[in-house]
Amino acid sequence: MADLHDDRFTRFASTRRWLARVWTAVRQAPHLTLLASLLGIAGSALLAWQMGQNAIGEPGAPAQVFVASSPQAGREFAQGFIEEWLGWTLILMLPAFGLGLIRLRGREITLPVAVACGIVLLWWLMEDVMATFSGEMARSRLGEDRSMPAYLGKLLVTGLALLSPAAMTWLYQRGRVLDRHVLRTFLTPFALCFCGLLALFIFFDFYDNGKDLIEARFGPGQMLVFYLVQLPKFMVEIIDISLLLAVLYALGRLSRHNEVISMVTAGVSVTRILLPLFVAGGFASIITLACSYQYAPEADRKKSDLMQMADDMGADRQNTRARTSAQRVAYVNREDRRFWYLENVPIDLNDQNSITGVEIHELNEDGSLRWSLFARRANWTPPVRPGESGEWRFRNVREMFHSSDPKNYQDLLSGAVTKTGWRETPWRLLSESAKLPAQFLTVPQLTSYLRMNHEFPESRLASYRTWWHDRLARPLRCLIVVLFAAPLGIVFSRRGLMGSVASTIILYFAMYFLTTIFLRLGESGKIPAASATWTVNILFAVVGLTLLWQRSTGASPLDSLRRFRLSRQPTT
């Protein structure tokens, strides 16, 4: 028995030594991540060629017949082909991603991260372009005319946000040892602050909506989706305060250990020390801009869709959800002599989230009532081709045909009624009745509204112009927060640390307060929209640059003014 035990122990020790040698080889073999990345890229190219050969085949193959049947079939085939190829490419690159995480060796991780960002960008670009231009080129689900410059802006900012991890990795590897040290000191508290604030926001949201979700029997997967769709909104709200706290902690730690003094003594300027933090703030602004441009306004509407799945919502929850929809919409179509009244029109209109409480009346040329329709629910389907009209579908309908002759009067009940050829779209009903809440519209939708209703008085357009500028101005607060927090975070004595922290927090809340005040003034038309949104950014950017100059030169503005006055005095 002793010999058997010794034999097992020997085999276990041998296996353990062999695994240790393999692990050491994986960690220390030169250029292993680069080799795995190149093999993954080569395998992806070979796979694309093989898939193309299998799909095309000989003349008259089923794939060719399917593609030639219609342009829509060709687009569907191309979309499916690219999705399958990108999925397999991602799988082929998994060894390179794993090696990059295990090794974390210098520049070897840059290529796998760049390939992953490229795959995600291509996947998103294909999905978005196909969803936008396949079958409903000119209209969206609400029926607004698409603004091509605004859509191209969406592609640009989202593409930059998706490529930003690769760019940050490349800059990190290209930076000096000092830059990487400052950035590592900053990233850890930033991740902790961001995750902590995110968990806090989710907790309060669950405290508010958890009862409805539980009563609706939402499973863990549905609850996960419920909060994943709100991530862009949460990110816009918490990323700037996370940057503020992380910058203060990182620079306070560097100052407390006299590392800043050592860097300055070695000849490194304060601006050069803070450069990695400014770059991080710039990347945060790009990511926040992509969320604010399109996805954060959509988060409330997606949340509303999921909340509608809760059948037993109370009155309070219904009032909360109603913020993302227009209530009691009245519209007059003078050309076709139709009068509309809609009880509730959701901004995120789809088959599950439909218009409710519909009442339509149509008049004859002499002004007499010709036709009336009452429906509990209604949906609008966008046109397939540009220039065509959409399709209205009403459900649970009561339809009345009026006539001067009582014998010709008809009162019909039906489950569904479809109307085509009408000019009205949900977007036209909402925009011309001034019922669209500007704070829940994306930049493309705001652009479409302002272009479509440019003849409206400026008082009606002030709110939409203000929120259009706010969508672009608010993300820059990430960089501005770093700009005034970084100089105040550098202290050369422990006594001044708390004063700097207090000053930074006061500045942040002053910026938040002034942003709210100016936004309300812009919405009411008291000041121009551009001034309402950009003035605060410019003001605090000047404050940040002044503080940075003061910290770099070691002189206060009063000292500089005193020296200027002395230089202007005549010499005797």
| Residue type present at position 258 | N
Crossing angle of helices 71-92 and 110-133, rounded to 10°: 160
572 residues of the chain, pLDDT tens digit each: 555 556 666 777 777 777 777 777 766 777 777 777 777 778 777 877 777 666 665 555 555 545 545 555 556 666 666 767 777 777 777 777 777 666 666 666 777 778 788 888 888 887 777 766 654 444 566 777 777 888 888 889 999 999 998 888 888 888 888 888 899 899 999 999 999 999 998 888 888 777 777 776 777 777 787 788 888 888 888 999 999 999 999 998 888 888 888 888 888 888 888 999 999 999 999 999 999 998 888 877 677 666 665 544 444 444 444 345 677 888 888 888 888 888 888 777 766 678 888 898 888 888 788 888 899 888 888 776 656 677 888 988 888 888 777 666 777 888 888 888 888 888 888 877 666 778 888 888 888 888 888 878 888 888 889 999 999 999 999 999 999 999 888 876 655 667 778 888 899 999 999 999 999 999 888 899 999 999 999 999 999 999 888 888 875 544 554 554 555 566 55
Domain spans in the chain, listed from the N-terminal domain onward: 1-30, 32-134, 326-436, 445-568
Half-sphere CA count of 446, side-chain side, radius 13 A: 25
| pLDDT, tens only, 243-281 | 999 999 999 888 888 888 888 888 888 888 899 999 999
**Taking the C-alpha atoms of 474, 478, 483 and 485 in order, what is their torsion angle to the nearest 10 degrees?**
110
Question: Do 285 and 566 touch, CB atoms closer than 8 A?
Answer: no
Q: What is the CA radius of gyration of the chain?
A: 31
Q: Cα–Cα distance between 306 and 209 in angstroms, integer?
A: 11
* Distance between CA atoms of residues 22 and 32, nearest Å: 13
429-461 per-residue burial string, b: 16 or more CB within 10 A, e: under 16: bbbbbebbbbbbbbbbbbbbbbebbeeeeeeeb
